[in-house]
Amino acid sequence: MPDRELVSAHYTHGRLVDAIAAGIVQLGKTTASVTVEDLGPVDEFHVGGRVATEAFLDQLDIAAEHRVLDVGCGLGGASRFAAARYGCRVTGVDLTPEYVATGNTLCAWVGLGERVTLEVGDATALDIADASFDRAFVMHVGMNIADKAALAAELFRVLRPGGMAGIYDVMLTGDGDLAYPVPWAASAAGSALATPAAYRAALTRAGFAILAERNRRDFAVEFFARLKARSDQGGGPPPLGIHLLMGDSAPLKVKNMIDNIVANRVAPVELVAEKPA
């Protein structure tokens, strides 16, 4: 069962702002001219990147007047995308201090510091008042959280009646031991995978009504194939990409991720739920 320190240590880089700033220079831009779209390849740390974020968040019917909570926000890529696309205000919460500090710096660079706020916090014990948000979402976070019931209960608690929650996580879909390391864990000790059925049960027990479910395995296989083709054609990874977050072990983590998905041991799955009005 992964603990807070193990999870935070796994994601800590040490000089992440510097690494991203160097990538921006390689793009021929500056921190004053970089855009939300430019940052997408590095700040969307989940299967499918920005394409997956758009397809997922569009299901939540987010409007400009909504307050939106990004639980396990990482660098805040999805938070910034939501604020830019829907015109809403977003609060992001993440366990890793370096991710939060870096994410707030990126918000300032792209001019979204007043509409996106990122904070350090625990997804299973949020320091947020009841019924504070209209929408909440989780993207590739539950793989590090063993207590899915606590995660679902917190989502339910912080949402207003009629609010919607979305989860996009890597979930168990078949048998067989996983190949490690993977992007979210160096070994099984840092991983807390569960089946879609377990997520549904946690959400239902919390009080949610399940509105939709979608297995994105085929999309993931195509995404990784395109990623590899672009890398091969370009002679290596791009200036900005999730390899900056994973360090020297990035190629092995991605390879194992692909192998696990192709073998149908796991798949990225979307769930959309509603808190009754």
Domain ranges of the chain: 4-272
Q: Which CATH number fits domain 4-272: 3.40.50.150, 3.20.20.540, 2.40.50.100, 3.40.50.970?
A: 3.40.50.150
CB 82 within 8 A of CB 88: yes
Can you tell me the distance from the alpha carbon of 173 to that of 29, in angstroms, rounded to the nearest whole number? 42
CB 181 within 8 A of CB 198: no
pLDDT in tens, the chain (277 residues): 566 676 666 666 668 999 999 999 999 999 999 999 999 999 998 999 999 999 999 999 999 999 999 999 999 999 999 999 999 999 999 999 999 999 999 999 999 999 999 999 999 999 999 999 999 999 999 999 999 999 999 999 999 999 999 999 999 999 989 999 999 998 999 999 999 999 999 999 999 999 999 999 999 999 888 877 877 776 677 888 888 888 788 889 989 999 999 999 999 999 999 999 9
Closest CA to 42 of 128, 103, 115: 103
Can you tell me the distance from the alpha carbon of 151 to that of 142, in angstroms, rounded to the nearest whole number? 8
pLDDT of residue 6: 66
Q: Which helix or strand (DSSP H or E) is residue 98 part of?
A: helix 97-109
Closest CA to 172 of 204, 198, 134, 139: 198
pLDDT of residue 94: 96
Collapsed DSSP state (helix, strand, coil) of residue 101 = helix
Can you tell me the distance from the alpha carbon of 67 to that of 91, in angstroms, rounded to the nearest whole number? 8
Q: Which two tokens stand for residue 68?
A: 């939106």
Can you tell me the distance from the alpha carbon of 147 to that of 254, in angstroms, rounded to the nearest whole number? 26
Does the predicted model carry a pTM greater than 0.75?
A: yes
CB 91 within 8 A of CB 120: no
How many CB atoms neighbour CB 215 within 10 A?
Answer: 14
CB 164 within 8 A of CB 61: yes
Closest CA to 170 of 7, 8, 5, 48: 48
Can you tell me the distance from the alpha carbon of 140 to that of 220, in angstroms, rounded to the nearest whole number? 13
